[in-house]
């Protein structure tokens, strides 16, 4: 194993990802940020220098952070935010492989650009080097004004950071550049390619496809999956924060083919340009600009994504959590999401994990902070999430990949879907249907404070977050690294200066 060093300089820079120029919260001036690559077993040491002018953080989405909960990157839960002009070094080992990503976890900052891919290779992964080449491809919704506190509508969408805004639309203004080239991937006829797809969106699911090329799914959220008849699809639905690896065989006549990432806009108003945002696979140089798409909602068939290595769900359940997700339209007219009646608000200067390590009792903040402790060593945990609102929510659990033992409609505890404990899908982000429920299980083998939240960024802002405090007694006996402690001191003095 190796130690791999990266330096992220966070700075705001004007970019025109879809032709429309706006300030973008970049890593090293890039959107999306640089590709981070490592092998399983490696250590990543990533120094983050914050020049945003605002606090920031970086979360490594899907990485378990075993023994290093304090590098999980969640202000208010696992660290203090990194103040402006301060550097903080994340330092963790990788005991997993697959397709991951990083993003800011400070307020809704990642919507403005701080996202990037993180790929971990493993020569023992069943599809390692089974293709001639591989590519990373991100899809995202995109916004023309820096993130507003209330839910805005996407202005467009980008594939690998490039889109084609309609510069002749009245909203485009005079600075719109109609000549942004779509992201282009060159493939050679007869060869096989692994595409690692990451949805870095703040809001939108996408229907992803490549014209004339079916895609065979081989990985979901870092977990290699078994190829079945269902695994080869024409269109793949990918929800915010989810990842898939797919194999594309370049067996078609030499030409250009569209890669399509259509926003699934069923629940957003038609202010969004409804045309798809395309990119091409290039076999030669000309690009056909006349593509249209059809929007149809569906989710991926679970039979397409069963784990490659048999991985039954834990059966010895020692802790069960029932989470009721509701929408409370409160007096000041701001809709707040609640989990079990409480809307999460981060306390930035006093992260939950540090309070636990200082052996402060968490009983007093348990409720308002949506914190749920469970001490049973190595027991199986079951979470039943009842989504009492009408909208779907992509829920993500930090610190684990979970067994998705059931997805069902209705929110009646007496009428839950049948659990599949034999060969459930294993992943870290799942779309929870509106008015429906999910049941997930995992083993509590990772002491720490782990967020469990909807990955729609404004819903996080509106409190749809729970904190799962896994084995607090054991966790509280660990020693907090000095740099993590120092960050909170720097954070405090930053705010004193600001006042
Ligand atoms: Cu992508 Cu809290 O995570
Ligand atoms: Cu949500």
Q: What is the DSSP string of 222-241?
A: TEEB---GGGEES-EEE-TT
Closest residue by Cα to atom 1, ligand 1, is 61
- Residue 194 Cβ contacting ligand 1 at under 6 Å: no
Two structure tokens written together for 409: 């409609």
At residue 279, does pLDDT exceed 90? no
Does residue 492 lie within any of the structural domains? no
Ligand nearest to the CA of 267: 2
Domain span at 211: 125-309
Which atom of ligand 1 is closest in space to residue 62's alpha carbon?
A: 1
Same domain flag for 327 and 453: yes
Same domain, 297 and 351: no
Q: Does 490 map to a domain?
A: no
Answer yes or no: do 236 and 342 share one domain: no
Tell me which ligand sits closest to the C-alpha of residue 431.
Answer: 2
Atom of ligand 1 lying closest to residue 103 CA: 1
Using alpha carbons, list the distances in angstroms from residue 83 to 52, 348, 490, 494.
Answer: 9, 11, 7, 7
Q: What is the dihedral angle through the alpha carbons of 202, 404, 70, 2, rounded to the nearest 10 degrees? A: -100
Q: 396: Cβ below 6 Å to ligand 1?
A: yes
ipTM surpassing 0.85? yes
Mean pLDDT of 331-353: 83
pLDDT band at residue 289 using 50, 70 and 90 as cut-offs: very low
Say how many Å lie between the CA of residue 481 and the centre of ligand 1.
23
Q: Any idea what the Cα angle at residue 73 is, between residues 305 and 147, rounded to 5°?
A: 85
Query: In this structure, what are the phi and psi dihedrals at residue 490, rounded to the nearest 5 degrees?
Result: -65, -40
H-state helical runs in 13-117: none
pLDDT tens digits, 66-99: 999 999 999 999 999 999 999 999 999 999 999 9
Kindly state whether residue 491 falls inside one of the protein's structural domains: no
CA dihedral sign, ordered 119, 123, 127, 130: positive
Ligand 1 centre and the CA of 446: distance in Å? 17
Mean pLDDT for 175-199 is: 91
Q: Which ligand is nearest to the CA of 429?
A: 1
436 & 323 share domain:
yes
Contact residues for 94 (Cβ-Cβ < 8 A; gap 6+): 38, 39, 40, 41, 42, 43, 44, 63, 120
418: how many CB neighbours lie within 10 A of its CB?
A: 9
179 belongs to a structural domain? yes
Distance 60 CA to ligand 2 centre (A): 20
Q: Which residues pair with 444 in a beta bridge?
A: none
Query: Which-ligand-closest: CA of 458?
Result: 2
What CATH number should be reported for the domain holding residue 324?
2.60.40.420
pLDDT at 432: 93
pLDDT of residue 271 exceeding 70: no
Structure tokens at 300: 């991926």
Q: Are both 278 and 406 inside the same structural domain?
A: no
Single pTM value for the model: 0.93
**How many Å lie between the centroid of ligand 1 and the Cα of residue 285?**
38
Q: Do 287 and 351 fall within a single domain?
A: no
Atom of ligand 1 nearest to the CA of 453: 2
Residues 103 and 193 in one domain: no
Please check whether residues 282 and 372 belong to one and the same domain.
no
Lowest average pLDDT, out of 24-28, 179-183, 200-204, 287-291, goes to 287-291
Domain count, the chain: 3
DSSP 3-state of 304: helix
Answer yes or no: is 498 within a domain.
no
Residue whose CA is closest, atom 3 of ligand 1?
A: 61
């Amino acid at each position: 194993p190796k130690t791999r060093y990266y330096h992220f300089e966070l700075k705001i820079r004007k970019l025109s990802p879809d032709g429309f120029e706006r300030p973008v919260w970049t890593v090293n001036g890039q959107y999306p940020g640089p590709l981070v690559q490592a092998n399983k077993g490696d250590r990543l040491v990533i120094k983050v220098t914050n020049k945003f002018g605002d606090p920031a953080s970086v979360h490594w989405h899907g990485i378990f952070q075993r023994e290093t909960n304090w590098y999980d990157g969640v202000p208010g839960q696992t660290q203090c935010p990194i103040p402006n002009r301060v550097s903080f070094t994340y330092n963790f080992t990788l005991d997993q492989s697959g397709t991951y990503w990083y993003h800011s976890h400070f307020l809704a900052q990642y919507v403005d650009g701080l996202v990037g891919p993180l790929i971990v290779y493993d020569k023992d992964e069943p599809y390692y080097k089974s293709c001639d080449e591989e590519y990373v491809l991100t899809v995202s919704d995109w916004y023309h004004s820096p993130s507003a506190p209330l839910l805005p509508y996407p202005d467009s969408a980008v594939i690998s950071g490039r889109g084609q805004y309609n510069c002749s639309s009245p909203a485009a203004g005079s600075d719109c550049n109609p000549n942004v080239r779509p992201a282009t991937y060159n493939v050679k006829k007869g060869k096989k390619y692994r595409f690692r797809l990451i949805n870095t969106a703040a809001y939108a699911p996408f229907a992803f496809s490549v014209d004339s090329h079916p895609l065979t799914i081989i990985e979901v959220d870092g977990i290699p999956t078994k190829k079945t008849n269902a695994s080869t699809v024409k269109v793949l639905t990918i929800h915010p924060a989810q990842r898939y690896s797919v194999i594309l065989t370049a067996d078609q006549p030499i030409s250009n083919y569209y890669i399509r990432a259509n926003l699934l806009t069923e629940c957003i108003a038609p202010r969004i340009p409804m045309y798809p945002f395309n990119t091409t696979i290039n076999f030669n140089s000309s690009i056909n600009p006349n593509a249209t798409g059809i929007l149809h909602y569906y989710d991926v068939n679970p039979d397409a994504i069963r784990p490659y290595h048999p991985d039954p769900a834990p059966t010895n359940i020692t802790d069960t959590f029932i989470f009721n997700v509701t929408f409370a339209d409160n007096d000041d007219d701001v809709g707040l999401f609640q989990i079990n009646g409480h809307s999460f608000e981060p306390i930035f200067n006093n992260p939950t994990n540090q309070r636990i390590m200082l052996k402060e009792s968490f009983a007093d903040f348990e409720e308002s902070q949506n914190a749920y402790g469970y001490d049973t060593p190595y027991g199986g945990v079951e979470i039943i999430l009842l989504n009492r609102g009408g909208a779907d929510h992509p829920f993500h659990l930090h610190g684990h990949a979970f067994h998705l033992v059931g997805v069902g409609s209705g929110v009646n505890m007496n009428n839950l879907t049948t659990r599949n404990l034999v060969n459930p899908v294993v992943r870290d982000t799942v779309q929870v249907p509106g008015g429906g429920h999910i049941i997930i299980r995992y083993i509590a083998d990772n002491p720490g404070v782990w967020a469990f939240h909807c990955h729609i960024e404004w819903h996080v802002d509106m409190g749809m977050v729970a904190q799962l405090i896994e084995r607090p007694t054991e966790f509280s006996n660990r020693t907090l690294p000095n740099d993590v402690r120092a960050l909170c001191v720097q954070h405090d003095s930053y705010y004193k200066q600001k006042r």
